[in-house]
Structure 1
Amino acid sequence: MGGKQPLERRIIFAFVLMTLIVGGTFSLGIVAIVHFIEELLVSEEMGRELDYAIDEELKLDTVARIDANTRFFSSHSGRDALPPRFTGLPEGFSEVLDGDAAYYVFKRSHGSHEDVLVEEQHEFEAREQVLFDVVLAGFLLSVFGAWGLGRLLARRVMAPVRRLAQQVRHRDQLLPMAPRLSPDYPDDEVGRLAAAFDETLGQLQHSLERERLFTSDVSHELRTPLMVIATSCELLLDAAGLTASERAQVARIARASADMHDLVQTFLRLARAGQEESGIAEKVALSGLAAEQYRQWMPQFQAKGLAFALIDEGSSADRYEAPQLRTVMSNLLRNAFHYTEQGAVRLILAADGFRVEDSGQGIPEEEQERIFQSFVRGQQARGEGLGLGLSLVRRICQQQGWEVRVESRPDSGSCFSVHLGCSR
């Protein structure tokens, strides 16, 4: 049986297999013993009856009669010829089946003549067949009973394992104050497995808490320097004497600071697992944020020689949390910018979300799911990224209740679509 079969099914299979082997061995043994005893006892009995028939024939010079079901044939007297179906049999005991009739034959040779005793045994054969039918029925019933008993015991054995699996799968088990699992189980294999889960879950809880604290602390500490950078940029832009090139550089620094601020807000939200007050976060309409992203990315697309278009196919007026939506849209546009060498990139707004379409190299089908994993980049990776952009996009979408999908064919471009659903 395959190793991937459920454990409960394997337990049932073991019960049935054991019954097949043991019950089959006993059943075959019964049949063999019946045949052996039948041949041994009947052979001895018919040998005595044959001696009696020979003595009677010699004394009375007539064919001996033993009972209504037994006949004696002898080539010595020549009175009764042996029927053809009994000729050519070996010495000693033989069993002859002729249609529905059954005969026991015992043959003994004396020099030039043969003595044969024939006994009708169809009634005995019928009883023997009934015995064999009973043995077969018992064997089948034992197999069926083993299947039922195996199911019952497998359920009882697997009940604590299923319970443990359900407790481990429960998301509350990762909370810091979650109770330990092992006290609920006896000190057996399942109890030791629960203790191992407790230890592993404890390590996982510690790692998650350490990651959550690190992300929260770093994001919190970055707020102050980012505020200083943003304020300084505002002061510089208001100051006189800056050239147009210098103003453009300061504006670029301000945009980068704003992007980093959005990332900090996003990381804080992800680190706190949605516990941050959603009312504090800035909310924007999809069309307004898309127009902002279009203005920000247009110069870079133009410098690369790519056409960049913003198309509104009827976006809704729902408002969404700006940091998360801005991070998702910005990462998808950055991905299209890096992987498109010629042609166009389109940002298309719809009633239920938006799409980013490009005319780049496309994504092979076998990689379309992997690219959303952390530190995974395409076969023809571009830019200096680490493969975290699309992973961050999926994490944000999962946390916000959005859905991100990709459709692509090699050398035909890609289309990343984000279904936003209702505003949060």
Structure 2
Amino acid sequence: MEFKHSLARRILIAFVLMTSLVGGTFAVGIIEVVHLIEEQLISRDLNNELNRVLTESHAAGRPPSLDSDTRFYSNDGPAPTAVPENLSKLAPGFHEVFEGRSSYHALVREIDGHRYVMLQDQSDFEAREQVLYRVVMVGFVLSVLLALVLGWILARKVIEPVVRLAGQVRHRDQLLGMAPPLAPDYAADEVGQLAQAFDDTLGRLHEVLNRERLFTSDVSHELRTPLMVLATSCELLADNSHLDPRGRVQVQRIARATEEMHDLVHTFLMLARAQRDETNLAPHASLRSVADDLAGQWREHIENKGLSFEYRPGPPQEQRYNASFLRSVLGNLLRNALHYTDSGSIRLVLEESGFVVEDSGVGIPEEDRESMFRPFVRGPARRGDGLGLGLSLVQRICENQGWAVRLSAMEPTGCRFQVDLKASDRPAN
């Protein structure tokens, strides 16, 4: 069963419903008991009074002596009194009779075909009984209101440790190795058990993340040596005058791929570091300098494919960013644009808050855009042997640095990637 209310509100509702059920049961019980006792006592008194009248007065042929609030009716005897029409239809036994605002208790008895009725005015008793009913109802309403107040206070007290625990779990420092455990802050109850479960889960998660960081760091570090060998070998081969033009082109391709792999390894190595202040120790550069370098590097590849490349550097900017991360993001977006564009153009535009990469390629359907930033997800027009990690790496770097990347469509075809490098500086709406 799915509830739409918060846990505190559900506790409050349950508390009020329980009080209403118990209080309502007691209120109805009190009213029924009072009514039953009233019927038994008054019927006994009327029956005794009727027996006295029949044995003492009626049998002796004298009119009965009664209190001012009691009447006697009979259709025989020395002073027969006609039974009123509204009483003549009553069955033998005890009854409540109402005449306007007055209320009466009537006892009807039939003996040898004769009808006897003893009628007693109970208006004062009924008034007191109505007061009792009102008191019971007021008490019921007050108990519900008190339950509402107490339920609200108790719900806050009960939910307070749960809310505090949720805030501690959501805190980003909880995944750090030096973060204190949660369980000692809570009593040995259900919330304490939940805190202990979070400690165990977060501990295992921290171990997994630590192993991942160590693996990424080790792999990235160990790959530097073979990459350095490849780069040095490419330089030696490029200086070899015996290479034909085709071989020289292949060596240049290997050298560029080695340089890109070196940048990618360095990026993974920096992402493996959990602390933000560690990554801030890396070299920083302005957006303009990184974009100028990559525009010069990619222009030849883009134009060799028959595409036009437009680079708008915009006004100079003093802001400096992590050079490796910025180079990786911009390089991956340019590579992605070149990979999926067969004709038309690619454009790189620097803005005050970031940059935009646009292309006239095959584009990405709207329903697939959100998933394109997930690992191992490739566009509908799959090309080459890529694993679909380029855009996921872009997203991961942007999240690490507090940047924002957005994907939209171009008309008539193509994609537009906008990266906001100052998203973390803006206040949340």
**TM-score, normalization by structure 1:** 0.87
Distance 2:213 2:181 in 1: 22
- 1:202-217 aligned within 5 A: 202-217=203-218
Q: Residues 385, 411 of structure 1: CA spacing in aligned structure 2 closer, same or farther, 3 A cutoff?
A: farther
Give the deviation of 1:238 after TM superposition: 3.8
Q: Is the 8 A contact 2:106 2:117 kept in 1?
A: yes
Distance 1:410 1:120 in 2: 94
Distance 2:46 2:113 in 1: 21
RMSD: 3.1
Q: Is the 8 A contact 1:362 1:408 kept in 2?
A: yes
In the alignment, residue 199 of structure 2 is paired with which amino acid?
A: D
Give the deviation of 1:217 after TM superposition: 1.7
Show CA shifts across 1:22-60 (max 9, x none).
222222211221222222222221122222333424434
- 1:16-415 aligned within 5 A: 16-55=16-55, 56-62=57-63, 64-76=64-76, 79-273=80-274, 274-276=276-278, 278=280, 280-283=282-285, 285-298=286-299, 300-301=301-302, 306-312=307-313, 314=315, 316-340=317-341, 343-378=344-379, 381-408=382-409, 412-415=413-416
Give the deviation of 1:4 after TM superposition: 5.4
Give the deviation of 1:302 after TM superposition: 5.0
Give the deviation of 1:392 after TM superposition: 1.2
Distance 1:60 1:275 in 2: 117
Moved more, 392-401 or 305-314: 305-314
SS of structure 1 residue aligned to 2:419: strand
Q: Is the 8 A contact 2:273 2:279 kept in 1?
A: no
State the match for 1:12 in structure 2: 12
Distance 2:411 2:365 in 1: 6
Give the deviation of 1:303 after TM superposition: 5.9
Show CA shifts across 1:229-256 (max 9, x none).
2333334334434443333222222221
Moved more, 138-147 or 210-219: 138-147
SS of structure 1 residue aligned to 2:82: coil
Give the deviation of 1:189 after TM superposition: 2.9
State the match for 2:417 in structure 1: 416
Aligned residues: 422
Structure 2: gaps spanning 5 or more residues:
none
Distance 1:292 1:234 in 2: 20
Show CA shifts across 1:132-165 (max 9, x none).
1121222222222223333333333333333333
Q: Residues 248, 321 of structure 1: CA spacing in aligned structure 2 closer, same or farther, 3 A cutoff?
A: farther
Show CA shifts across 1:35-87 (max 9, x none).
2222222222112222233342443443x342222222223358543334334
Moved more, 251-260 or 70-79: 70-79
Distance 1:392 1:343 in 2: 26
Distance 2:411 2:112 in 1: 97
Give the deviation of 1:200 after TM superposition: 1.7
Q: Residues 277, 94 of structure 1: CA spacing in aligned structure 2 closer, same or farther, 3 A cutoff?
A: closer
Give the deviation of 1:356 after TM superposition: 2.2
Task: Give the 4+ runs in structure 1 shifted more than 6 A.
Answer: none
Q: Residues 423, 371 of structure 1: CA spacing in aligned structure 2 closer, same or farther, 3 A cutoff?
A: closer
In the alignment, residue 324 of structure 2 is paired with which amino acid?
A: P
Give the deviation of 1:422 after TM superposition: 8.8
Distance 2:51 2:240 in 1: 139
Give the deviation of 1:390 after TM superposition: 1.8
Give the deviation of 1:201 after TM superposition: 1.9
Give the deviation of 1:328 after TM superposition: 0.9
SS of structure 2 residue aligned to 1:86: helix
